[in-house]
Chains A and B, each alone.
Chain A
Amino acid sequence: MWGSRKLISSGSRFLGVRRSGCRVAQADCPRSTASAGLEIGKSKILCLVRAHFRVRRWNFVAVPSHGRRVYSENQLSWTLPIKPWIFSEYRIMWFKSCKMTFVCFNRMKSYRYPWTRLYSTSGTTVDSSEVKTFLALAHRWWDEQGVYAPLHSMNDLRVPFIRDNLLKTVANHQPGKPLSGMKILDVGCGGGLLTEPLGRLGASVIGIDPVAENIETAQRHKSFDPVLDKRIEYRACALEEIVEETAETFDAVIASEVVEHVTDLETFIQCCWQVLKPGASLFITTINKTQLSYALGIVFAEQIAGIVPKGTHTWEKFVSPEMLESILESNGLSVQTVAGMFYNPFSRYWHWSENTSLNYAAHAVKSGAQEHQVPAESVLKEETEELQATASTIAGVREEVKK
């Protein structure tokens, strides 16, 4: 769904341009799920066309006219049935540039569910080769000194990052359970390494992972702790499968060390957008796509030092912060923070760093419902003013007539 265009007609000249642009793009359409990431990486072209809205700043998403658009195989294209008199309920933003085509569109809540129905749920973001890699290590999650030691150690950075950014959104919190009352989704939770700390902090967490063995390990591990047992729920599924039932229910979605394993980042981010409440946060930690990350992250970490099991990462699927930022922005998530992280393999501790060329963490916020009200009000105000103006002139005319 997100791959398809929503065409807004309000002027035929735009329509002409857009339609032709669309056809060209579809002709170019590449597409195997695995190579999508490759193309994104290679050409740094952003997928376009979403419903999204922002009041304070214009959201520019550039698609060079010569560029290629990337669509998932299973996406359907359709046009939203727009009736002219509903226009006022929609906030529309136009981006124009001689060479680029911009479309931005906001959808109202009432139209969200029809879209989800049309959305394909056949595991578009899960890569089966990745599944195989993680299957082999499914029982090793909770050995703190074992294969996953760096991930255990990363909790020292990512849990405070998540906790502090979520606490900013609440006025006061319960000491001892700072995140109580929050619903969090941990996508790609693995063995529950990040899910459990968040559960201990009081949040109710749902952890999902496509590898069923991981979920089993996670279930078993949390079953010993009665408090966590109640607060955490695990499901073996992909994100797309739960988008329908959990639309707009989460205060935070966390995709830690996940986006470098998905097949279609665009789809993934769109699903995240869907399940987030307005004003909710999305947290992503991943690896940058640079020469340094190849040298250190793949050659050194996997092949030489064995810090990360071989075959865990493929460099082509790494995502740079700029790419991630643009995908997030084009999908209605405003990026608040991007911070670099650095792992010292000797001390086995992670550190925050200015440099994002290896690992980095990003925090984005879904634009809230309140922000959408203002332009609507301004549009309505203009209309009411017009009506009042006409009413007053009519009244004036009547008085004159009476006189």
Chain B
Amino acid sequence: MTIRNTLRDHGQRYRPRMACLKKAEKVLLEMQDPKSGVKSQLQRLVITTIPHAITGEDIMAWLSERFQIDTQEARTLGSMLVALGYVYPLQDHKRLVLKSDASLYRFQTPYFWPVQQWPVEDTDYAIYLAKRNIRKKGILEMHEQEQYSRLHKWMNHKWDFIVMQAKEQYRAAKERKKPDRVVFDCQERAYWVVHRPPPGSVSAMDYGLDRRIDPNADEAKTPDFYERMMIFTQQSIMRPRVKSSVSIGALVKYCATYNNHDPFLFRCLPSNPWLTDDVTYWTLNMPNVDTPTKMRVERWTFSFGELLSDPRGRDDFRRFLKKEFSGENLAFWEGCEDLKWGAATTMKEKAEQIYKTFLARGAPRWINIDGKTMEITVNGLKYPHRYVLDAAQTHIYMLMKKDSYGRYMKSQVFKDTLKRAICPEEHKFTDAQLEHNSKNRRPSISPIILRQQELEERAKMAANAPMDITQLCRFTTPIPHLAVYSGITYSPSTNASSSLSTLAQPPAWPSPISVALDSTSTSERRVESGEADQDGEVGGAAGVNVCKSRMALSLRRLLKRGCGPSAVFASLSPKCHTTAGMSGRIQPISPDPPGQAPPRRMGNFFQIKVDIPPECRIYPIESEDEEDENRATVGAKEIICPWESLTPPNGTG
């Protein structure tokens, strides 16, 4: 059992490490070798000659030979060395690139090498600017002047020191001989070009934000420190370990599977846009393209995760599920994702929405999760947060993965998509065409516009929600002859009527109920105080429509009776028992005369109350109790979230 020593190595987690610096230093040291290093020559100035000047070509040639790379790459590597400040140009000192001609460069002294652990201090910069001021007699460049005034303002308390030190350093520098003085000035200037670049250029040493703690500093051994260490070691002990054969096997499998799909390692059809500046690849692989590419479809076969994460794949899967009438799983999963990643303000409403649509008893798109998960979820929904539906979501994901995914792979939908998938030809651009392409580069659509389009599409999809048949299950098929109806409506009850009317259309099922519904809907609308139910859902139960007529009769009788709920229950339950062998009660919306009770929130759907064997309590516990006692009092029952109290009649449903 090994706990890898990550305790001391905070570096990787804390500060972006520039590992290239140590490597560049090694390269630089190799370049100094008088025999095998870079050939140096003299720089002839007017009065003096200064040794150790190297040409750009020489550097490039040396790099090519040393690392066995081509000239283009050697040039890039050399430019990196210049940009970091290990080598500085003698002419054109502001542009830190390596030119492959006879332009001269020189190595930088180790004191001025870029080192991350020695942050570049503003004090030093101020001293440098002051020295430059002296030398140039007050004529500084624009950005230098700005920096000077800024530093003077912010470091005012140290300004005496800065002036004194600048003068002293200037005098000290003058003690040296002329060539050395020249070199020193060039070095210092090059150093500050790297670390305080003139406007319009970027420093290569810009590694992002510094983290709060310096990873190289020793941490004080406080009790808190030891506590953290203990927690870390305890967690390390509990971490599950995998045999290396297994993990390596997994890595090998992953590499083998994805090798051909990686644009770095394999060719990219038709061509890699980053290399050829031709965006066909991106247009062919848009999220909502009609015919995907063969590679894309192949990726869907790798794993269920791949299928879901590709929007086109998800689309295909959704189409398949629609055919199988089990789309609620995917819809639930997507709803959970939306909850997880969405804005915090709408979280509570979203959670309630999802509960009502998918999880509650008698929900229109009821998903089949086991009792324990349901219990956990419902308990969690009392105080909803982003991850409250995580357990249920995982369950459904696994369900889809084990069940629907396999069937999808063998389905006709997938086979059709696979047949239609296109395999584009590889581009073969000539150099002239590449040049042409690079000139015609255009920026892509703004992400703001893309996001708007996405939202519009989502809204459209929600509006034309497919008519889903909820899953059959032991507990929600009380009455076989009860019609199945559903209606997903994410939007408020403005759609209620439409969904009700469309219910008439679905095939075999709900003719009697639709008739009943029509009558109820009219009566409802009469009774309804006009407040729209937020959800506007049509509660329904899954059921098989067998004895339509009998059901219709009983329902009509119920509705005409307009009696109190208890009577309803009494009348209904024996019937249900006899008919289906399962118990189930339909509680219609109470058609109480409006004056009887304070205006209630009327739902315009049925709630199916089922008797569930006591050993499997999937229903929310409190509402069960409350329902039992409220049976006599509360007539109308919508699908109410159990964490809200049932007693106030106008409780937010």
The answer on A and B forming one complex is no
